[in-house]
Structure 1
Amino acid sequence: MSRRLALLSFLLRHVARPRLARVTDPIQARADFARTARGLFRAPPYSVMLPGSVRGEAHSAREIPGLWVSCGPVHQRRVLLYLHGGGYVTGSPQTHAAMVARLSKIAGLRAFLPAYRLAPENPAPAALDDAIAAWNGLFALGYDPDRIVLAGDSAGGGLAFALLAALCARGTPPRMVLGFAPWVDLTGRGASLAANAGRDALLPARRFNELAKMYAGLIPRDDPRVSPLFADFPGAPPVLLQVSDDEILRDDSLRLARRLEDFGARVTVQRWPRAPHVFQIFDGWIPEARAALLSAGQAIRDSFSPAPRSGGS
């Protein structure tokens, strides 16, 4: 554990977590997150962040707004679909753009971050519908499934695996999937929810049920569309999960890994001691974040070696 990580965890525990524990207005929570992102999260030099949108091929397809993010040379025929976290209530492409720019630089891929609809104004399955629409939009732009890497953190990670289940059912899985501490079980059955309640430096465990209800709405919380831990993943691609041993969502990743392996997926779980939830977003501040992103970016590069299964490069 680096000194910088120790200091960050101290500040999060005594400043950020108390704030998250008491803020009840989603609009205020979104403003807080946006302000934090602007002041704290660092993008690498020469990052490019351009507003844009994607739309599926069907005449009735909805347009999904978002942000195109890249840094340095990127492969023109491969793309990263990144779904941001924020408990399904906060967050945006802009709050996660700096971290994704670093991942783009390491992996050599351009990324699209869709601005999916947030709860409680838009409960499930609105976010999943938008994620599916974003995938369809990338396909309409000419990106074959085998050339798309799917990724997300926290709630966005849960959304990524809900999308993965839908894609596996279609028989069109992505090249690989990357999850930073994905929230995949809204029922709260993971043992770490209670065991790590006092150790998690960022997430207040007592807000878990409130957020879960906001997002699930009228859908049962064990429905695979909101809790993809209970989904089926036939033909799932390789998966990389990164999670902190001290966070309340630790067991979501560990149980998801076993679930995916039951369907024959090759899963790698990287566990980081004493790190806060989605510590990767603090790239530029703590060495652990850079190390995790380097590992994730290399895994993406490795997934395209040898050449893509669909032919070409």
Structure 2
Amino acid sequence: MVSFAQRMINARVRYLEKPLIACVTHQPSLRWVSGIYARFAYKTQSDMQFTRTRLGHGGLSVPAVWCDQGTPHRNGVILYLHGGAYTVGGAASHKQLAARLAGVCGLRAVLPEYRLAPEYPFPAGLDDAFTAYHALLAKGYEGGHIVLAGDSAGAGLAYALLLRILGGDLPKPRCVIAISPWADMQFTSPTFQDNKRAEMMLPHSWLKRARRMYLAGDDPASPFVSPINGDFTGAPPSLILIGGEEVLLGDAHKMAARLEQDGVEVALIVQPDVPHIWPMHFGQSAESDRAIDDIARFTRSQFNTPSA
């Protein structure tokens, strides 16, 4: 049974966030509004620390924020790729979640502020994520010290980055965490239509508009924008979390099936009665805190393997 606190969050998301996302069509304005909203909606804990930096490699660099909570007790880092349909989002809206994941996993976290559409369409965001990964390797992190993580479009971007890593014969990350992944820009999953009314946060109009801005004429079937079409043979384990009423529920199932087909270990958690990327509301509902615990348990299990 859904908690009372989660019901209050669900109402706020459905009747405030969703209409706001639908009506603000000017992306710079929506970025500003979402950053202001995040200050009130998402929890910053007293021991969280945020430090601006740049992640550079090969003459390229991307601005980023180190998002820490407490003192890490493992030599590892979460490379967190924020959501926002490739058009909004950044440290202002996602730094608290990145820091919380760092704290519960005993790692550091870094959040690249990759370039956004429509000013910078595909593959700018993927190029920036690839630069950030290279930069972490150059800083001395081994592939097995790096956790790829992201939410929504950022989760799709994490899998696109993983494809580029696998194709480039680079050291593989330890594991992947995908929260409410947008992994199919072709919108082929039945839930994209079937869950349209039940979806609490994402308006159809916004996803379609964001896809158009991000692709700028590129093929929506490309595995680098629709990773459900990729080949993940040899990839590290994944944890995928998705809300049971999301329009992206089918994306999560298809992504898990794709990984399983390629022989990759994957765990899929479907949580009913929660909105898109509900772990962002940690400290406010039992459902959100349970998701954070699931992520921590999965990540710690990966670092406790003999090869860690």
What range is the shorter-chain TM-score in? over 0.9
Unaligned runs of 5+ in 2: none
Q: 1:3 aligns to what? A: 4
CA contact (8 A) 1:147 1:308 kept: no
Instruction: Tell me what 1:102 maps to.
Output: 100
Between 32-41 and 267-276, report the one with greater CA deviation.
32-41
The letter for the 2-side match of 1:92 is G
* Partner-residue secondary structure (3-state), 2:77: strand
CA contact (8 A) 1:13 1:201 kept: yes
- Corresponding letter in the other structure for 1:53: R
Structure 1 equivalent of residue 155 of structure 2: 157
Distance 2:305 2:255 in 1: 27
After TM superposition, the runs of 4+ consecutive aligned structure 1 residues lying more than 3 A away are none
SS of match in other structure, 1:28: helix
> Which residue pairs with 1:258 in the alignment?
257
Cα separation, 2, equivalents of 1:229 and 1:237: 16
Kindly state the Cα deviation for residue 285 of structure 1 after the two structures are TM-superposed: 1.5
Specify every segment of 5 or more residues in structure 1 that has no aligned partner in the other structure, as ranges: none
2:69 aligns with: 71
Identity between Structure 1 and Structure 2 (%): 34
Q: Which residue of 2 aligns with 1:292?
A: 291
Q: Deviations over 1:249-275 (max 9, x none)?
A: 111110000001111100000110010
* Partner deviation per Cα, 1:63-110 (whole Å, 9 max, x = no partner): 111000111121463111000001111100231111111111110000
Show the counterpart of 1:140: 138
What is the rounded CA distance, in whole Å, between the counterparts of 1:178 and 1:120 in structure 2?
A: 27
Q: What is the match of residue 186 of structure 2?
A: 187
Alignment correspondent of 1:236:
235
Using the TM superposition, name which of 21-30 and 166-175 deviates more: 166-175
Structure-2 residue corresponding to 1:221: 220
Map Cα deviations across residues 172-218 of structure 1 (whole Å, 9 max, x no partner).
32100000011111111111110110001111123322111111112
Instruction: Give the AA of the match of 1:14.
Output: Y
1:86 and 2:87 are equivalent in the alignment: no
**Structure 2 counterpart of 1:273:** 272
Across the aligned residues of Structure 1 and Structure 2, the Cα RMSD in angstroms comes to 1.2
AA in 2 matched with 1:100: A
Provide the aligned length of Structure 1 versus Structure 2: 306
How many Å separate the matches in 1 of 2:163 and 2:269?
A: 22
**Equivalent residue, structure 2, for 1:127:** 125
Aligned 1:111-126 pairs, distance under 5 A: 111-126=109-124
For residue 223 of structure 1, report the CA deviation from its aligned partner: 0.9
SS in 2 for 1:128: helix
Kindly state the Cα deviation for residue 161 of structure 1 after the two structures are TM-superposed.
Answer: 0.4
SS in 1 for 2:183: coil
CA contact (8 A) 1:34 1:91 kept: yes
Task: Identify the residue that residue 196 of structure 2 maps to in structure 1.
Answer: 197
- Pick which of 119-128 and 217-226 moved more: 217-226
Q: Which amino acid is the alignment partner of residue 138 of structure 1? A: L
The equivalent of 2:21 in structure 1 is: 20
